[in-house]
Copies of this chain bind each other. A is one copy, B any other.
């Protein structure tokens, strides 16, 4: 008897132009377009195995070894139902196609980065879910078409269906059919872009992005101006910077938009703060790094939490890591997948004004992750499957 099973991995993406606000909370239609860099799955990924089997009792899903309920009308269910509908259309056109759309599915998904890293896993997770079912169902759908489905799982997931530099065009159709991801440039266009994630300790649980962004939509007096005036111009400008591989322009817009996202969060009533004193100090250090260099050599960006992601051309990574280690000492040597010879004592670049921040205690930054721009979802070997021959997860928490 045939086994219908596929395993896929999908990447994390970190936005340069931030998504913050929905115009339709059910369809997850955003109030503005956004743009991100896809990070390399060699380092950070969600892996998902999907299996369709007529003997299964119902659709089931395990996330990191723990079963999650699939509620009717919920985000998981919406994605699965939509993909089954597309499969049914395939079957309607080709009577030889097995009737997978009628079989329940078991889905196991896992992130290779700990929840404690504070990286949003919903983007890579929903992208892997959608890509895995689309592969299982052999859907004749483009990544952009699949992104419309992933978007309904988690907005920013739509951007994880492409590698490289990805725009989420907000669209205007009421049904959301034109609110989708497009590739601005593949990673091969600008493979030199590296990312350094600084995992920042935080005492308090921040406001969730889902509830936070709607509070901003309802109460910020500045958000509408950002949506109508600022973001459209920045989207054009950053796409142009990417196409020209103009790092200073790319970096400047990235930093400005991170700051503006946090500004509208602060302009919310009551205000939302995601940046803490460590986040602020990283901003001060990168700002001074660029000033001392006389050129914009690095860009910081922050999502809905205190972690920094620093984009920089590969040649600057060593210098930046050593600079950050000076302010944010670590108990362990810097773990580098690229084999950089890092001075773990830290080091200041020439002309750098040390006084822009104080040195923080060990573990104020819990760790660093060095990665780079990456590719889109990958279909993996059966050997990497997360479901065993019995159709159940090989790993349970």
Q: Contact residues of A with B, CB < 8 Å?
A: 203-204, 221-222, 225-226, 229-230, 252, 255-256, 259-260, 262-264, 266-271, 273, 275-277, 280, 283-284, 287, 356-358
Contacts and interface: CB of A to CB of B under 8 A. Distances in A.
A251 to B, nearest CB: 12
A230 B221 contact: yes
Nearest to A286: B270
Report copies per complex.
2
A280 B273 CA distance: 8
20 contacts: A203-B358, A204-B358, A221-B225, A221-B226, A221-B256, A221-B260, A222-B260, A222-B263, A225-B229, A255-B270, A259-B268, A259-B269, A259-B271, A263-B264, A266-B266, A271-B283, A273-B275, A273-B283, A276-B277, A276-B280
Contact of A230 (B222, B260, B269, B283): B222
A269 B248 CA distance: 14
A65 to B, nearest CB: 29
B267 A259 contact: yes
B277 A266 contact: no
A18 to B, nearest CB: 13
Q: Which of A263, A264, A280 has the most CB of B within 10 A?
A: A263
A353 B203 CA distance: 16
Dominant SS among interface residues on chain A: helix
B260 A267 contact: yes
Contacts of A263: 222, 263-264, 266-267
A25 to B, nearest CB: 23
A226 B220 CA distance: 11
Contacts of A259: 266-269, 271
Contacts of A267: 256, 259-260, 263
Nearest to A280: B273
A48 to B, nearest CB: 35
A262 B275 CA distance: 13
A266 B277 CA distance: 14
Contacts of A268: 259
A263 B262 CA distance: 8
A287 B256 CA distance: 28
Contacts of A204: 284, 356-358
Contact of A229 (B221, B256, B266, B284): B221
Contacts of A358: 203-204
A237 to B, nearest CB: 12
A120 to B, nearest CB: 21
Nearest to A222: B222
Nearest to A228: B225
A117 to B, nearest CB: 21
Contacts of A287: 270
Q: Which of A230, A256, A259 has the most CB of B within 10 A?
A: A259
Given A225-B229, A259-B271, 10 more contacts: A221-B229, A221-B230, A221-B256, A221-B260, A222-B264, A262-B266, A263-B267, A271-B283, A276-B277, A276-B280
Nearest to A262: B266
A133 to B, nearest CB: 39
